[in-house]
Structure 1
């Protein structure tokens, strides 16, 4: 959940020229990159470039969920008509064609009290046809449906929670109502002397109930999405219970909130993998006062960290720029990589010393693996345009002595071959550069220095060339 956000659109993109790339061969030689349209799609590429080694290449695991969640755009103002309209928009706008296939109902869908049998009851005014009718409609167009509950007495909006009713509610949500996903929040926590257990115990109750219900019904278990706001180090334990775990508090529709979430995740994005994905909360693309460049950065970070991608936008008024960002298939391909499930991690903080905790100026230089090469993300966290630069071997996923082709995942262009370094001029304020680097063979002979990383660079005869 988060506070109610006002209906808004992305601010128009600036009229300034896009960032300009430079390949740096050595400290004395540089070459302006050319721009050429690419003819391949990452979504359909299955071959690995020479030299890209992935120890987990044999693993095909659970991918991050993609879809829609009602909270950020509508808060409690939901009903069956709105849900069906949103379902149809996901289809008609082409969002379902690229993977957005969950329609998730958040808080406020039920009556304030359980019925005489102890069951949660759908609000009779907002959902007069009932939840089974609604999920059947969603399923009939090829999409899946998600529902919401809480590990406490009540939900965050003070509707019935599931504490002490886990088995009953798991059966209701899955078998009787037909939902495919359960978002599970952490409000209205019972007293310690009543539960005699920690947050792990309360979430384990529902995880066990979902597993038991699946075995009893013979149906696949509901996707279990833990919404615990980053409390009590969930990156260490939540992966045992569900498919995703919230890494922070709620997102807001502004750059300050996005930057703060990026900063917090810089310290534990390493924990994401196929077993469970760190959930950075819903996408605010198209909401609030995010500029076009800020929205691109927001979407890139969520995608590269392999977070669930759940739209929180008023789709009925989504602009072409909002849809352009949400439908960037090259960036989505990183999020939905079936071979590599790990998130990007920082290799240099940039404006701050490494490992700095700074809510407004998070780490700037990130990298990670993908089935098609090394991914690099550069964030300009400043309020003005900035030139950005990194040595290739600062990323642990780059091989020394090799050169790399450069693919820009936002301009959708192939931008030449990089040797040793890459620099980008005039990255917009709060903007992003998203690159895919593919091994392109040995770097040219005769480059100096002989070692890109100079620590203990030594000749085979024992002569120490560089380092201590």
Structure 2
């Protein structure tokens, strides 16, 4: 039976925008643990680290267990089961432990016959994709107390499914709605079908890019793909340029900070992807920086945009509730000199980068910008955020 016939007579799903009034924040297992290193012990230790590090209290609430949590086959009743060795307690019990720590529980599914790990990591499972099981899988997740679903395309149109992107994601949206449980719905199809134009009807966030990698080149490539998308995001639904690589090998201190600041300016969901159990104090301080997170979580919900470019120097702007923040990014490999005037930040040749007022502050340091009247250096790949009251 085709997906269209299975849904005949079914009303279009309606999401609850109140589930994501600001970009969701949390942690996802994939970037650091991928498939075979993902275990119940890792997840629970990460949950403890989210609490102990202050991340939970800073707003990181969703702990998302990505692909490879599943047993290699469904049960006789058709239901998905957890991997018996790596998740012996089961997903309902895992969810209870996560909730007991004041966190929310997220899981991964895929709409086709296979998941991404089956395709790319040789995960030796069969029939654990949700094709033909959408209602049962949604019901199962709701019964386990799941609060967040990452639904990942993973070539779902292959294998004779006949699925198209929009139909597949709408089908799961309807199944989730029928459970009656409030579940944040993350649509992951990598920006292939311009999801920002349609996914907002029933998704709370939608991927706009291919997967991120732990490199400065990848960060810039994904940031560049966000231009022109700001008008599609806002309270209840968000453009998603993928998870954070902050704290992972491949990004230096300055690059990690600029990556984090860019995602905050983009009103992007913030899902840490590092090992929280062993992260450095430097990484913890970055991920929990109150000034940057205040920009990310601003209630106005307007996505920032790049508004000017001068060689390798970019200027970004985001309107906030009662304020405006400018981001100046040195994309190049050499330091540049900038200077503070009473009314503007300028390059050493006098080119105006952004306006300033007497109340403008450097978001990272919390200090007045006017205290830095002399020439100062913006390091290679460094971003600075300058916040001023709205005029």
Please state whether the residue corresponding to 1:84 is helix, strand or coil.
helix
Contact 2:306 2:314 in 1 (8 A): yes
Could you say which residue in structure 2 is the equivalent of 1:182? Answer: 149
Contact 2:357 2:388 in 1 (8 A): no
Please state whether the residue corresponding to 1:290 is helix, strand or coil.
coil
Larger Rg: 1
Could you say which residue in structure 1 is the equivalent of 2:219? Answer: 258
Which of the numbers 108, 130, 134 marks the counterpart of 1:166?
134
TM-score of the two chains, using structure 1 as the length reference: 0.71
Could you say which residue in structure 2 is the equivalent of 1:311? Answer: 272
Shift of 1:415: 2.1
The structure-2 alpha-carbon separation of the partners of 1:266 and 1:212, relative to structure 1 and needing over 3 Å to count, comes to: same
The structure-2 alpha-carbon separation of the partners of 1:164 and 1:423, relative to structure 1 and needing over 3 Å to count, comes to: farther
Equivalents in 1 of 2:320, 2:208: separation in Å?
22
* Structure 1 position 367 matched with structure 2 position 317: yes
1:228-255 C-alpha deviation (Å, 9 max, x unpaired) = 1111111111111211011101111110
Equivalent positions of 1:67-466 (< 5 A) are 67-76=26-35, 77-158=37-118, 159=125, 160-175=128-143, 177-191=144-158, 194-195=161-162, 198-214=164-180, 219=181, 221-338=182-299, 340-351=300-311, 364-388=314-338, 403=357, 405-416=359-370, 425-439=376-390
TM superposition outliers: structure 1 runs of 4+ over 6 Å: 389-394
Equivalents in 1 of 2:228, 2:164: separation in Å?
23
List runs of 5+ in structure 2 lacking aligned partners.
1-17, 119-124, 347-353
Higher relative contact order (CA 8 A, sep 6+): 1
Contact 1:69 1:311 in 2 (8 A): yes
Contact 2:254 2:381 in 1 (8 A): yes
Equivalents in 2 of 1:106, 1:401: separation in Å?
43
Contact 1:405 1:417 in 2 (8 A): no
Contact 1:270 1:344 in 2 (8 A): no
Equivalents in 1 of 2:228, 2:337: separation in Å?
25
Contact 2:20 2:204 in 1 (8 A): no
Root mean square deviation, CA, Å: 2.6
Please state whether the residue corresponding to 1:303 is helix, strand or coil.
helix
The structure-2 alpha-carbon separation of the partners of 1:346 and 1:372, relative to structure 1 and needing over 3 Å to count, comes to: same
The structure-2 alpha-carbon separation of the partners of 1:321 and 1:194, relative to structure 1 and needing over 3 Å to count, comes to: closer
The structure-2 alpha-carbon separation of the partners of 1:350 and 1:411, relative to structure 1 and needing over 3 Å to count, comes to: same
- The number of equivalent residue pairs is 356
Please state whether the residue corresponding to 1:104 is helix, strand or coil.
strand
Equivalents in 2 of 1:222, 1:259: separation in Å?
31
List runs of 5+ in structure 1 lacking aligned partners.
1-58, 352-360, 395-399, 441-468
TM-score of the two chains, using structure 2 as the length reference: 0.85
Contact 1:387 1:423 in 2 (8 A): no
Equivalent positions of 1:54-73 (< 5 A) are 62-73=21-32
Shift of 1:350: 2.5
Contact 1:270 1:345 in 2 (8 A): no
The structure-2 alpha-carbon separation of the partners of 1:376 and 1:128, relative to structure 1 and needing over 3 Å to count, comes to: same
Equivalents in 2 of 1:103, 1:324: separation in Å?
19
Shift of 1:153: 1.2
Contact 2:20 2:237 in 1 (8 A): no
Contact 2:332 2:380 in 1 (8 A): yes
Contact 2:315 2:329 in 1 (8 A): yes
The structure-2 alpha-carbon separation of the partners of 1:337 and 1:60, relative to structure 1 and needing over 3 Å to count, comes to: farther
Shift of 1:388: 4.9
Contact 1:166 1:209 in 2 (8 A): yes
1:393-424 C-alpha deviation (Å, 9 max, x unpaired) = 99xxxxx9994521111111122399xxx997
Equivalents in 1 of 2:19, 2:370: separation in Å?
32
